[in-house]
């Protein structure tokens, strides 16, 4: 006769023990995430977003007044309350994406790239037209596919270009060039010349960084100049913007109005909610919010914003100095080039130093798709640059390049 042990009957202590394990695991994962992400970069981004909230608040009355009519009067802070909702959603997306391991972030970006390319194909067919351009897709909720494609495409390009480490004979330039041509064609069909320029710029930066032969880079530069010339000759929207820029604009031109608004506050600004020139400025809460900041808070505040963008770029580059993985270097650089490129194009447009592009100021301008997408960009950047702080790495010693006593001169 064999004896068997009595069946296990779970009691309250066993339930508590089993439910306690996942909670401990989640806490451990969050501690690891907090140790590995670039907290300095996250802090800089949050500072810029806070300044953006203040900027949208002072720009909201101008845009609300322009969009009001006899039937409906929008509240002065209408766009501020909407912006706070989009910022909350964007922060959730940022934090969620930043928890991804590097491999998971790469796969998510590739899948997002394919999904947004399909969405771009659908935009000319069933897209929603706004201000003469068909860039929006409404599938339950309206969104702009090109905005979500920006961070995903930068990571996907980095993945393609990193193949050359496995096999130097792989035609990574041709594959990435074909992908860039496909995206450019879909964007120009909307039309969206500004985003096309930004995508091409990010692609060119990554190709240069991938250390491809100099002869191929010369061909790329020539192809870029030819594409720009073709856009001017055959693309009416691009020709109009370039002609307006070269001609200097008129007193009623939006770029000229933006420049006057930017300089209207002097060095220290007219004061919060005291600016008047912004009331005649179109898209004060989006494309020309930098000019509103200049009038309300002064040119010194504009200079501070520029320094913050430079600090974000420099912080990523410093973090990449000791990085050895080519994909990480390319992906982080591409995402940084996308943020920095969009920021400085917007600023140069407000300064009348670049043709008008209809491009928002990242992390500052009001936006739905653009706000969430730029937060996802930061999330991908934090995920890809995650680093174990206890992992020993070879560091660069500046003393090695300094002359020592007794050395031959």
For position 143, what pLDDT does the model report?
A: 84
Give residue 369's pLDDT: 86
**Average pLDDT by stretches of 10, the chain with 409 residues:** 50 48 71 89 96 94 85 88 94 94 94 94 80 73 88 94 83 88 88 86 88 61 64 58 55 70 85 84 87 92 95 93 88 94 90 78 90 95 84 46 48
For residue 254, give both structure tokens: 């939006």
What are the beta bridge partners of residue 141? 139
80 and 60 in contact (C-beta within 8 Å)? yes
Task: Give the pTM.
Answer: 0.82
Q: How much is the pLDDT for 134? A: 74
Nearest-angstrom CA–CA distance, 226 and 149: 25
CA-based nearest residue to 273, from 50, 62, 49:
62
Residue in 224, 235, 160 with CA at minimum distance from that of residue 193 = 235
What is the separation, in whole angstroms, between the first and last Cα of the chain?
95
Give the pairing type, strands 133-139 and 128-130.
Answer: antiparallel
The reported pLDDT for the residue numbered 137 is 83
């Amino acid at each position: 006769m064999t004896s068997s042990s009595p069946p296990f009957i779970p009691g309250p202590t066993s339930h508590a023990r089993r439910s306690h394990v996942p909670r401990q695991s989640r806490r451990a994962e969050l501690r690891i995430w907090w140790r590995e992400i670039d907290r300095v970069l996250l802090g800089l981004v949050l500072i810029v977003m806070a300044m953006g909230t203040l900027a949208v608040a002072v720009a909201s009355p101008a845009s609300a007044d322009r969009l009001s009519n006899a039937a409906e009067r929008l509240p002065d802070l209408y766009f501020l309350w909407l912006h706070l909702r989009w910022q909350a959603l964007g922060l959730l997306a940022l934090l969620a994406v930043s928890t991804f391991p590097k491999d998971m972030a790469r796969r998510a970006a590739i899948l997002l790239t394919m999904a947004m390319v399909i969405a771009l194909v659908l935009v000319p067919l069933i897209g929603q037209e706004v201000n003469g351009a068909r860039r929006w897709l409404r599938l339950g909720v309206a969104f702009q596919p090109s905005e979500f494609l920006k961070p995903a495409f930068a990571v996907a390009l980095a993945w393609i270009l990193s193949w050359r480490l496995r096999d130097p004979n792989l035609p990574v330039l041709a594959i990435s060039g074909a992908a860039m041509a496909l995206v450019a064609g879909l964007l120009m069909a909307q039309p969206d010349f500004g985003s096309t320029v930004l995508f091409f710029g990010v692609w060119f930066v990554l190709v240069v960084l991938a250390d491809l032969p100099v002869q191929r880079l010369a061909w790329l530069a020539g192809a870029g100049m030819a594409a720009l010339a073709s856009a001017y000759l055959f693309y009416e929207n691009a020709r109009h913007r370039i002609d307006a820029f070269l001609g200097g604009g008129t007193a009623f031109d939006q770029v000229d109005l933006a420049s006057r608004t930017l300089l209207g506050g002097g060095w220290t600004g007219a004061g919060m909610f005291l600016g008047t020139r912004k009331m005649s400025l179109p898209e004060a809460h989006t494309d020309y919010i930098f000019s509103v900041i200049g009038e309300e808070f002064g040119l010194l505040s504009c200079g501070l914003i520029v320094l913050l963008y430079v600090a974000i770029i420099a912080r990523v580059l410093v973090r990449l100095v000791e990085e050895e993985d080519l994909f990480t270097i390319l992906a982080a650089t591409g995402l940084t080039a996308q943020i920095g490129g969009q920021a400085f194009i917007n600023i140069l447009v407000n300064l009348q130093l670049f043709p008008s592009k209809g491009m928002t100021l990242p992390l500052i301008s009001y936006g739905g798709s653009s706000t969430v997408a730029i937060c996802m960009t930061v999330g991908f950047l934090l995920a890809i640059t995650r680093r174990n702080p206890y992992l020993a790495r070879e560091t660069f010693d500046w003393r090695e390049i300094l002359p020592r006593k007794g050395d031959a001169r």
